[in-house]
Structure 1
Amino acid sequence: MAQFSVNAQRFDPYKNFKFRIKWDGRYVAGVSKIGPLKRTTEPITHRVGGDPSTERKSPGQTKYEAITLERGVTHDVEFEQWANKVWNFGSGLGSEVSLADFRKDLIIEVYNEAGQVVKAYKVYRCWVSEYQALPELDASANAIAIETIKLENEGWERDYDVTEPTEPSFTEP
């Protein structure tokens, strides 16, 4: 059973379909899917000669998995411009990468059904490792064209300044 301290009457956990993402201080339009925030710490196994015949385990290096963002194809060039900072085919030899500003910090916000921010995560030093401008096109398909970027990152953390809000109460007219 989910526990909520401010809204003790709430039973259900938050849904995964209300979210927004922000970089460069503004919200990014049209993002329909964000991949999971996942980190893995590799275990280091070791054994001391006088120990029983079992191994000890200690935490080793931690890695943060890439995050994928998807949105419908429009004339907005935000994904493409960021991807071009890592590699721009049309630029001159030796200036294909924009080393000064190819990394960005992101904020991912999760909202409750009433549109209140309930959780936020800061994702650090992201850069585009994969850019898909168009999906596979199929004349017999009934689908939306999706643009995708894959973001490498160097870590994320929850923003503890975002706390559980008091959910609004409505009365019938």
Structure 2
Amino acid sequence: MASAQSSGPIDPYRNFNFRLEIGGVTEAAFFSVQGLAMRIHPIRYRPGGDGQAVRSLPGPVEYAEVTLRHGLTKSTDLWNWISAIAKGRIERRNVSILLLETDGVTEALRWNLLSAWPCEWHGPALDGLGRDIAFAELKLAYDELRAE
């Protein structure tokens, strides 16, 4: 049976074409997202009468914390969010990470972090002789990861 011809090779998406959507955050200069990961812990067991064979079943699901790097601006949205958590007011928000097509506008893939909240913040490294952008890091914990 003949396979359908494609119009050419399919290029992978570029890692710099992305956008973040965070409820309640109107302005943030995100330039890096790291740590998007999921792990399903195997549960190992040895069934009776099967000799020394060890089998495994899927166990608990664990989501890695996601680190967002952003350039500092006048916006205090992210700082206010983690400050509220530090004061005991847990504000869970849904966060979407969008990978964009080469046009930089059209959504190609989306990962939704459900019930996310900031669990760690790192301020900028300041250097009187530096020329880099002042950026901060925010780590997010979340309850579930969904891909669309």
Q: What letter corresponds to residue 111 of structure 1 in structure 2?
A: L
Quick one: which of 106, 110, 113 aligns to 1:123?
A: 113
Summarize deviations over 1:66-116 as a string: whole Å, max 9, x none: 1111111111111101111111xxxxxxxx2114xx110011111111121
Quick one: which of 60, 84, 89 aligns to 1:98?
A: 89
Q: Is the 8 A contact 1:21 1:27 kept in 2?
A: no
CA-atom RMSD, angstroms? 1.9
TM-score of the two chains, using structure 2 as the length reference: 0.86
Summarize deviations over 1:121-161 as a string: whole Å, max 9, x none: 211010110012x22322333321111110001111112xx
- Which sections of structure 1, spanning at least 5 residues, go unmatched? 1-6, 88-95, 160-173
User: Relative to 1, partners in 2 of residues 1:50 and 1:28: Cα closer, same or farther, differing over 3 Å?
Assistant: farther
The equivalent of 1:78 in structure 2 is 77
Q: Percent identity?
A: 26
The equivalent of 1:19 in structure 2 is 18
Q: What letter corresponds to residue 49 of structure 1 in structure 2?
A: G
Q: What letter corresponds to residue 75 of structure 2 in structure 1?
A: D
- Once the 2 structures are TM-superposed, how far is the Cα of residue 37 of structure 1 from its aligned partner? 1.8
Q: What letter corresponds to residue 73 of structure 2 in structure 1?
A: T
Q: Is the 8 A contact 1:20 1:27 kept in 2?
A: no
The equivalent of 1:138 in structure 2 is 127
TM-score of the two chains, using structure 1 as the length reference: 0.75
The equivalent of 1:167 in structure 2 is none
Alignment length (residue pairs): 142
Question: Equivalences for 1:19-168 in 2 at 5 Å?
Answer: 19-24=18-23, 28-87=27-86, 96-99=87-90, 102-115=91-104, 116-132=106-122, 134-159=123-148
